[in-house]
Structures are given as structure tokens and as C-alpha cells.
Structure 1
Amino acid sequence: MTTAIKEERVVSTQVKASVDNSAKVDKKDAKLALAHIYVAFIALFIGGLCGLLQVLVRSGQFELPFGIGYYQVLTVHGVLLGLVLTTYFILGFQTAAVSRTAGALSNGQRKLGWLGFWVMTIGTAAAAVMVLLNQASVLYTFYAPLQAHWIYYAGLALVVVGSWIVSLAQGLRFVQWKKENKGQTTPLLSYMVVVNNLMWFVATLGVAAEVLLQLLPWSMGFVERIDILLSRTLFWYFGHALVYFWLLPAYMIWYTVVPKIIGGKIFSDALARLSFILFLLLSVPVGIHHQLTEPGIDGFWKFLQVVLTLFVVVPSLMTAFSMFATFELRGRSLGSKGLFGWFKNLPWSDCRFLLPFIGMVAFIPGGAGGIVNASYQMNELIHNTIWVTGHFHLTVATAVVLTYFGAAFWLIPHLNGRKLTKRINNMANTAGILWAIGMTIMSGAMHIAGLFGAPRRSEYSTYGGSELASEWISYQIAQAVGGTILFLAILVILGVVINLLWFAPKGDQEFPVAEVAEGASKTPAILDNFKVWGVILVALIFIAYTVPIFDIINSSPLGSVGYPHLIGR
């Protein structure tokens, strides 16, 4: 009897928390979240401009002025869009999400958040200065033996440490909620934030070790040589989980926000939590699949991590099933019939839905390309070609970033007390459509050119005289056309953001969070037990990495700068 009453209380608490859409982000927390979003959109403009210059140079129709180097521009583009835009937006969105669903941060938690923000920003500024001075043109992967100024590496280390501090503030608020609501199922959105932060912390231990133990001492002259294979292995221990750090906030929006926007409900709270747990477990012990062509790593360990990588298809398919089930249930509640009758009842004119939906669609071919990248034989064809760049632009630069934009268009006015008007909504839809067109052209050309062997990261002058140049150049010109359309979309997006920040009418904009559908199964308590999942995660990491790293260290001649492990994505 007591157990039944307790379970009923848990369910009623879930419903009460989810339907309270009058709840708002605390005003002080909103300032912290907005600070992150400001930096994110500044990074979008500068990084997007550098991306435009990059594709123009690759087309062979443009030369950079004032002695600016191609790889300097490429580094700015990769670092600002791949690291700065994403990290700042994610942490800003997550701060708002925790405040909205778990309650306002305490003064101490908020101070931690601000401390983390400023540590990140100081690090970002330091790294940016070195890139602008052409002292750090090492791309966002900063592979050795390319060497940057030590301030660049120190700046990146500060960005990582700062992100830990902001994540800690969010996690402490989640723990506080659990103490205040003992025995109750945690808010789904806050739960997802904690899973993403836990994954981020575990993953960034690898890149932190690479920077602090190898790259910084090397760049400061304390050591003459470092083991390049070890540095790359530590980077990719982090690098693939970075992809999921980008992706999971988009999944948060797809699972919890989009259903509310379309007037529907979350298909299954338990299914959403399980998919996030699977991403947590499978995010880190898979990085070696980026190193399939590198000598020095035994084939068994490459095969094991390829298998673990392909298991990630499971939570992705779970998410696709959950989302389209939500769409169909909503459509049928509005009277739609037939297999795809629900499709016409979706709110296509609402930018809060349209942009994330375009992202969902883009993730289908993006995910298929990811399977190619992670597969032994198929990877041999496209390895280190511009196919991989096209894949990143479908997954991160479309599925993820368009979802971020769709969220920003309601989040910004919610945080600063303004309204998303019909005119601004139409501008946002225009930007989303331009983005879809530009990315289809640019990413499609990248994929095709990659199949012809066009190299990744190379400027026009490095392959202009090759036998295959005539095959490649037409696709490079297509990339320039697509990139130009994308930059126009960025300008429209920035116009939307500026309007929402300072010119939109004052008002209340909802932070939409959907309730769980009636009849959904009860969420098992074990999904909230992070101790269990943490132990499994650590075990998987030890299994996947202990022997490979031991072998690398044991057989290394303390790799000179000419160490032969230089081929990789």
C-alpha cells in the first residue's frame, strides 16, 4: 500500500512539474545564460566569415589579402564554430534549462557559474590572440607536430577548466533538487543536462592530459620531443565524445521542447533517459575509430572500438522512433489519417519547430555518413578526404546548430523579457531555409569531391596542378556557392538575434517544456542512479584504452617530431 502511494506521488510530481509552463528562468540566472549566448553569436559571425573566406580560397577564385594565411583562417573557423560557439551556447542553454526545471541557482552556485564563464572567456581571448598573430595555425584538432604558441594551449586549457566550473554549478543545483524532493523522479531536462556534463567532464580529461602533460611543456621548451601517437590518442579519447557533447543538447530540445511546441507530449520519459545513458556509456571508449589508418595501435582494439561506435546507432534510432511517434500521435489527435497524414498538421510556419525539424532530417544522411566513417573498409576510401568535412557539416553544422538556433529564437526573448513576433519568426524561417539550401549544396559537393579523393583541409594551391584537379575544382566552386548562401543565412540569423535582444517588443515568451504522455511507462529508478552508470562507464574506458595506451608508451621512442604516425582524420 505504501509503495503504491509512493509511486502515485512520483507520477503526479512528474506531471505537475512538466505542465507548469508558467515557470520562468530566474532573472539572475537569465543574465548568466545570456552572457554565454552573447559570446556564442559573436563567435558565429567571425567563424562564419572565416568559413566563407575558406571556401572562396578553395575554389581557386580568391586570394586572402594582407598576408593572411589559409590555415590561419581555417583555424579560426574550426575553433570558433566547433569549440567556442557550441560550448558557450550549450552551457548557456543548460544554465537556463536547470533554472527553469530544477529551480533558481543559489547565490553560491551562480557565482560558480560566473567564475566559470570568465575563466572560459579569458582562455578564449588568449587563444584567439595567438591565432590572429599567426602563432597558432594548428586547426581545431591542434595535432602535433604542428606547434602553437604556449599561450594558445594555455587558453584552451582555461576554456576546459571554465566549462567544468559552469557544469559544476548546474550539477550542484540538480543535487540540491534531489535532496529537496527525496524519492521523486528528477526533472527530465535537468537530468539530461547532468548526463551531458558528466560525459563532458570524463571526455575532457583526455584533452586536458594531452595539453598539460605534452603540448604545453613541449611548446614552452621544457621537453624537446613528445609522443605524437599518444597525443593523438588522447585527443580522440576526447574528440568523438565532443560530437555527443554537441549533439545531446539538440536531443534535449527534440525530446522535451519540440513536443510542447507542436502541442503534443513526450512519448516516453524512460526511453529519453535510457537513450542519454547509452550515449554516456558509448561516448568515450570509441575514439580510436578516428585512427584506423594509424600504425602503432593493434587491430583488435581498433575493431573493438568500431563495434562500440556502431552501437551508438541504437540510441539514435530510439530518438528517431520517439520523435516521429510524438509527431504521429499529435497529428492523429488533430484528426489526421493514413500513414503520413500527420505530416501536414505540423506547425511548419513556426521557426521554433521548423529549424529543429530541418536539423532532424539532416541528421539522417549525417548519421549514415558516420557509419561510413567508422567502418574499416569504407573508411579507407574517404579517410582524410573532404567527405569527412561534409559529414561534420551535416551533423554538427546542420542537425545540431540549426536546432540551437531554433531554441535561441524563443530562449533569448524568454531570458530578456521580449516577444518573438511574427515578423521576426518569418525572418528566422527564411534563415533556416537558406541554411538548408546552402548546406545541401556545400556539404553535397564535399561528399562527392571526397569520393574523388579531394583532400581535406588543403587549399587550392596544394592540388591545383594534380591530374584530378579538373574533377575537384567544379565541386570546390559549388562549395563556394553553398558557403556564400550559408553566410547570408548567418547574417539573417544575426539580424534575428539582434532584434530579439534589443528591439523586439517587451513581453513574456514561454520556455516550452512538454509533459509526458498519458499511459507512458513509469521511469525505472535505476536510470537516476548515476553511481551504477559511472562504474560501467569507467569499466568500458579501462577495457577500451588501458592496453592501447600501455602499448603506445611501452613501444614509443618518445616520438620525435618526425614520428611516423601522422596520417589521420
Structure 2
Amino acid sequence: MTGKSFESASANNVHPKQVDPRDARLSMAHIYVAFIALFIGGLAGLLQVLVRADTIKLPEPINYYQVLTVHGVLLGLILTIFFIFGFQTAAMSRAVGTLTDQQRLLGWIGFWVMTVGTVMAAVMVLLNEATVLYTFYAPLQAHWIFYAGLALVVIGTWLAALSESLRWIQWRKENPNQTSPLIGFMIICNNLMWFVATIGVATEVLFQLLPWSLGIVDRVDVLLSRTLFWSFGHALVYFWLLPAYMVWYVVVPKVIGGKIFSDSLARLSFIMFVLFSVPVGLHHQLTEPGVDASWKFFQVVLTMMVVIPSLLTAFSLFATFELRGRELGAKGVFSWLKKLPWGDVRFFAPFIGMLVFIPGGAGGIVNASNQMNQLIHNTIWVTGHFHLTVATAVVLTFFGATYWLVPHLTGRQLTKEMNKLGIIQTILWALGMGIMSISMHAAGLLGAPRRSSFSDYGGADLAKTWLSYQVGQAVGGTLLFIAILLFLYIFIKLRWSSTHKGFEEFPIGTVSEHAQKTPPILENFKLWIVILVALVLIAYTYPIYDIISNSPLGSKGYKLW
């Protein structure tokens, strides 16, 4: 559907290909959990910014860092993980084919393992037994149930990823010597990256933090635990981002009535993300004294390599937009912009996310640059950066996808009324995030610390200096929470309103006939896995060996694990 794309497809007696109802139920189960996390985590975020602005004081026994942990874990991990696997399940079913009963069962097992783990971790945080923030750094210690819950979440994601991957492998066997559907290939890339990245954090949780919290060992090596975490932590950013890229590359061209500029370019960018997303975690540890500077430099170089697929993506997407605008009669240099469907929230929300990702990416270059990182490390600048990349570019794209995905999966449609509300919600989100993120960046340049409440700033003069920026964060955060409430209202209407029954398309773009044929090497995962493993081993083997060799625990005879 293009033009008046929010109208029902059935109005023209066009019945789009539907995701199998059994797969749709699995997808929707993930989405329900994701949006419960969105509400609770969003409320915790609102409380945070109000406390930092010295507007409210939390009642006992709730403390700021407990709320901070709720916000980070529920939005940074639970919202994103559940939505991504819900979206990927639906996309794999739509583009590659309906899951088999065994594949679907594996998906359900993964969902319930993830859900049980989420409840375990959430309960411990709410009981103030796991106030260890989003990064759960040692020597902060949580209850063992929290760590066990996190381990179950990771294991559940492996099962969900395996379910999707088996369907793609089945398609490859049934269609030898053919190029697989683009979005299916992208899902495999994301799942591969996720599996490799989570090995580090699973090792940290299972062999360090969990035994430590159970009292099996007295101490753990803090530097080793942080290194294992960040071998996962930065790849997590791309795990969030690549599903948004799937929407940008595959869905948006269909929404605007155009075609995918280049299948090969899209696949190449995803392969590059897979290769350069995992062995770069040390750039989060540039101020850690226990890691040799040469290895930090090596990983910073690999980090900068990620700029290349980002630029490829920008070129490909804006080429698609311009070509479509020219087809609709645009003549001037930028007149094609006027031809884009600005009134269609399925385009508008992801496009705003794309635009915000430009300054977000620029801030990421600052974070990963050794000299500039010294200025902003552990300041609230970094938090502002996350809110541009993940909380705006990614989350706005997820919102835009929800507006057609949920109706498609539930036999309903995106009406004109809901489309208009979606536009308003997108503007509210972008405005709120703009105010809050700019305030965070500015306060960070003045040295305002991240993860700290107003009462912990220590020094009246400094607190007064930063207070105006904290007020800006409170204003932006309030707008964001209003946008969350509006989004959830739209979601409820799209899911359960009986007046919205109908058909909504799951937009899957086709490749331009002018694009060159995709070379088979891009789907040679045996080659890419070998290169990925080699990069990870080169980037981490010696640094981890060096950390263990020089560990005070090791030299005194303590067990590292």
C-alpha cells in the first residue's frame, strides 16, 4: 500500500500475504511483554529525571538507584530483546515461510524461558535486592536469583534465534543456488552476532557473578568481569540497531512505493556489522588502567570500521528516497523530499529515527575516540548519546513498525485516526528526546556525572550549575512519558478495537531491476563465521590472558571464577 497507505488493503480487494496465525501468536506474545516493560521502564525514567531536577523525592524504601536499574534493565534489555524477537519471528514467517511445528515449539520454549528469567530478575530489582544498574558491574552485588534470571533470558534468546535460523536453513535446502529473501538474511546476521556477543556476558554471569552471589567464591576479578561484559555490551547496540536497519532497508521502500536500491549493498553492510560489532568492547574501557593501550587502540580502529556500513546504509536509503521522488516528478536537487509520504506514520516515524541517528553516530565517534573520551567518560553526555541512538533512532523505528505489524498480526488495520495519533506521538517523542538529550550532552560537557541523583552531586555550586540542564531533562522526560502513554493507547486500539478489523500489509520491498545481481559469497556464512571468530580471538585472547595473569586474585591463589 502506498499513497493513502494507512487505508485497509481490503478496500481495493487486495489481500496481502499474511503471517500464519500460529506464528503471529508467538510474535504477539513477545510484543505484549515488550510493551509492559515499556510502561514500567518509562515510568521509572520519568521518576529519574524528576529526582535529578530536585523536583520530587522518592518515598522510602524506594531509592534512586533502584529506579535507575529498573529503567535500564527493562528498556535497554527487556523491551528491545522481546520486541526484536517478536518482529524477527513475524518477518521470517512472512518472507521465508511459515515455521514448522518443531521450530514454533522451540520459539515458544525460548519465549517462556526468557519470560521466567525476566520475572526473576525484575522481582529482585523491585525488592531492592539487585540495585546494580544496567551494567551490573562488580563489586556491586545482586541476589543470585537476579543473575540466574539474566542467564535464563540469554538462554531463551538462543532458543528463539535457533528457531528462526532453522527456518532460514530449511529454505536454503529447499531452494539451492538461490539468493535468500533479504530480510531473512538480515535476521540470520543479527542472530549470529547476538550469539557470539552473548558468550562473553554468559561467561561472566555463570562463572563469576552467580558463584560469587551464592558464596561459592569470596571475590571475583572486577576487570575481567567488565571486559567480558563489554565484549557483549557494545554488540548489544548493534543488536538493537540492525532490526531498525531491516525496517529501513526492506520495509520503508515498500511503504513509499519505491524499490530497494541494492540487495548487495544491504547484505554487505550487515556482514560488516557482524564482523566489526563484537571485537570492539575495549573502547568502553579506555580509562581502565589494567588493559594495555595497544589493544585499546586496535579495538578503537575496529570500532571506527563500523562507520563504513553506516555510511553505506545512508547512501542506499537516500538513493531509494530520491529515485522514488524522481519517479513522482521531482525535478530540483532536493524537491524529491516533498514527494515522500510525510503523512504516513509508517514512513514518518522511521525517517525521524534515521535523521536523529546522524548526530547520534557523530556522538559515538566522540565516545570511541581516546582523547575526546577522556572528557566525557562517565558523564551524562554518554547517557544523552544512548538516548539519541537507541531511544530515538531504534525505538522510533520500532514504534513505526508497530503501527503496521500489530494490525497485520491480529487481523486489523491502521486507520486514518490512529495514523494521525501516531504522527503526533512521533513528534512528541522526537521533541521530548531532543530537549532531554541536548540537556544531557550539555551537562556532560560541564562534567555532570551519569548514574547520579541530584542529592549525590556533592557541592552546592556544581549542583546549581547543572540544575538548569536537569530541569531540561525533566521537561523532556515528561514529554516522553506522555508519548509512551499515547503509544500504548494506540497499541491497545490497534490490537483490540473491533472497529479496526480488516487487513494491513506487512510491507516487504522488492529490489530495483537496475540493481546488480547479488554475489553468492555474501551468503557464505562459513567464510564470515571464520573471519568473525578470528577477529574476536585476535581482539580478546591476549587482553584476557594478560588480565588473568596479572590478577591479584590469581597471584594470591584465589579462584578467578
Q: TM-score under structure 1 normalisation?
A: 0.94
Tell me what 2:514 maps to. 519
Tell me what 2:254 maps to. 260
Is residue 306–residue 375 contact of structure 1 (8 Å, CA) maintained in 2?
A: yes
Tell me what 1:54 maps to. 48
Tell me what 1:557 maps to. 552
Structure 2 residue 536 is the aligned partner of structure 1 residue 541: yes
Correspondence 1:343-358 to 2 at 5 A: 343-358=337-352
Structure 2 residue 97 is the aligned partner of structure 1 residue 103: yes
- Match of residue 176, structure 1, among 167, 170, 173: 170
Tell me what 1:4 maps to. none
Tell me what 2:125 maps to. 131
Tell me what 1:302 maps to. 296
Structure 2 residue 32 is the aligned partner of structure 1 residue 70: no
Is residue 16–residue 503 contact of structure 2 (8 Å, CA) maintained in 1?
A: no
Q: Which one-letter code corresponds to 1:555 in the other structure? A: N
- Match of residue 529, structure 1, among 524, 529, 534: 524
Matches of 2:460 and 2:209 in 1, distance apart?
35
Q: Which one-letter code corresponds to 1:439 in the other structure? A: M
Is residue 228–residue 559 contact of structure 1 (8 Å, CA) maintained in 2?
A: no
Tell me what 1:432 maps to. 426
Tell me what 2:7 maps to. none
Correspondence 1:75-90 to 2 at 5 A: 75-90=69-84
Correspondence 1:396-545 to 2 at 5 A: 396-463=390-457, 465-503=459-497, 504-545=499-540
After superposition, the C-alpha distances for 1:335-363 in whole angstroms (9 at most, x for unaligned) are 00111010011101101001000100000
Is residue 303–residue 368 contact of structure 2 (8 Å, CA) maintained in 1?
A: yes
Tell me what 2:263 maps to. 269
- Match of residue 192, structure 2, among 198, 210, 218: 198
Matches of 1:152 and 1:429 in 2, distance apart?
38
After superposition, the C-alpha distances for 1:68-115 in whole angstroms (9 at most, x for unaligned) are 110000000000000000000000000000000110000000000000
Structure 1 residue runs without a partner (length 5+): 1-19, 564-569
Structure 2 residue 286 is the aligned partner of structure 1 residue 289: no
Matches of 1:199 and 1:74 in 2, distance apart?
28
Matches of 2:439 and 2:148 in 1, distance apart?
37
Note the aligned Cα RMSD (angstroms): 1.2
Is residue 21–residue 511 contact of structure 1 (8 Å, CA) maintained in 2?
A: no
SS at match of 2:459: coil
Q: Which one-letter code corresponds to 1:383 in the other structure? A: H
| C-alpha deviation, 1:409, in angstroms | 0.6
| C-alpha deviation, 1:126, in angstroms | 0.3
| C-alpha deviation, 1:518, in angstroms | 1.3
Tell me what 1:14 maps to. none
SS at match of 1:160: helix
After superposition, the C-alpha distances for 1:177-212 in whole angstroms (9 at most, x for unaligned) are 001111100000000000000000000000000000
Q: TM-score under structure 2 normalisation?
A: 0.96
Matches of 1:30 and 1:346 in 2, distance apart?
30
Structure 2 residue runs without a partner (length 5+): 1-13
| C-alpha deviation, 1:464, in angstroms | 5.3
Matches of 1:77 and 1:495 in 2, distance apart?
21
Q: Which one-letter code corresponds to 2:508 in the other structure? A: V
Matches of 1:137 and 1:120 in 2, distance apart?
20
Matches of 2:179 and 2:305 in 1, distance apart?
27
SS at match of 1:468: helix
- Match of residue 32, structure 1, among 1, 26, 35: 26
Matches of 1:438 and 1:67 in 2, distance apart?
30
- Match of residue 224, structure 1, among 214, 218, 221: 218
Matches of 2:453 and 2:278 in 1, distance apart?
32
- Say which is worse superposed, 550-559 or 137-146, in terms of deviation: 550-559
After superposition, the C-alpha distances for 1:488-535 in whole angstroms (9 at most, x for unaligned) are 000000001000110152111000001001110110000011000000
Is residue 227–residue 282 contact of structure 2 (8 Å, CA) maintained in 1?
A: yes
Q: Which one-letter code corresponds to 1:523 in the other structure? A: T
Tell me what 2:158 maps to. 164
Matches of 1:344 and 1:291 in 2, distance apart?
44
| C-alpha deviation, 1:21, in angstroms | 8.4
| C-alpha deviation, 1:24, in angstroms | 1.6
| C-alpha deviation, 1:466, in angstroms | 4.0
Q: Which one-letter code corresponds to 2:332 in the other structure? A: G
Matches of 2:550 and 2:84 in 1, distance apart?
40
SS at match of 2:500: coil
Matches of 1:502 and 1:66 in 2, distance apart?
38
Is residue 21–residue 512 contact of structure 1 (8 Å, CA) maintained in 2?
A: no
| C-alpha deviation, 1:23, in angstroms | 1.9
| C-alpha deviation, 1:429, in angstroms | 0.7
After superposition, the C-alpha distances for 1:113-140 in whole angstroms (9 at most, x for unaligned) are 0000000000000000000100000011
% identical equivalent positions: 71
Tell me what 2:309 maps to. 315
Matches of 1:397 and 1:323 in 2, distance apart?
21
